[in-house]
Chain A
């Protein structure tokens, strides 16, 4: 039961360009979403969050967009940097429940 899907296992982007990471979910009761990034041999690091009452949240180079009707969110990184190369996880929760993680997308930013 994949409630949170990240259909692209990997993505390559040129340095300086925009990276767009996508996440789809099936549970319409999800009300809060997080993006984490993970380097090898490290734990996930929180990046940015969005509540279901918003459709956009921005923090520096990172912007998350939420389309509730499509049950879709995306993380935009612009400009992409080589240090952004990592695995990115989308996570979602229903009020009072714990977070469900997607399988992750490996981003490679090429110099």
Chain B
């Protein structure tokens, strides 16, 4: 069964460094999402992406964040200058059509900022 994959599973970085989290959505899906979950807190929406552009973003998704679909298969989240409070699980999700609201999630990348 097709699935969303994410790499790496765990990323440790120093405060102020740039990180890129990678996702490979399900191949025929058109809508892509990033969410994060700070330990012990709820899953929070960051950004949605469709037709090679951001369709919606939350207040969390500030100028330090960017997303890209560089090659038609990967979907990346970049954090330019990480802060301690960026430490969280980051989930990528995708869905296939405007008529289906079910999002399929990847296993997540645990980002630890020290």
Residues of the B chain whose Cβ atoms lie less than 8 Å from the Cβ of A102: 42
Cα separation A42 to B43 with both chains bound (whole Å): 13
Chain B window 34-55, contacts with chain A (Cβ cutoff 8 Å), 1 for yes, 0 for no: 0100000111110010000000
Quick one: closest B residue to A39, CB to CB?
Answer: B107
Of the listed residues B56, B58, B101, B108, the one surrounded by the most CB atoms of chain A closer than 10 A to its CB is B101
Instruction: Name the one of A41, A46, A93 contacting B107, with C-beta atoms under 8 angstroms.
Output: A41
CB distance from B92 to the nearest CB of A (A): 8
Q: Is the CB of B33 within 8 A of A93?
A: no
CB distance from B20 to the nearest CB of A (A): 19
Residues of the A chain whose Cβ atoms lie less than 8 Å from the Cβ of B108: 41-43
Interface residues of B (CB under 8 A from A): 4, 6, 33, 35, 41-45, 48, 56, 58, 91, 93, 101-108
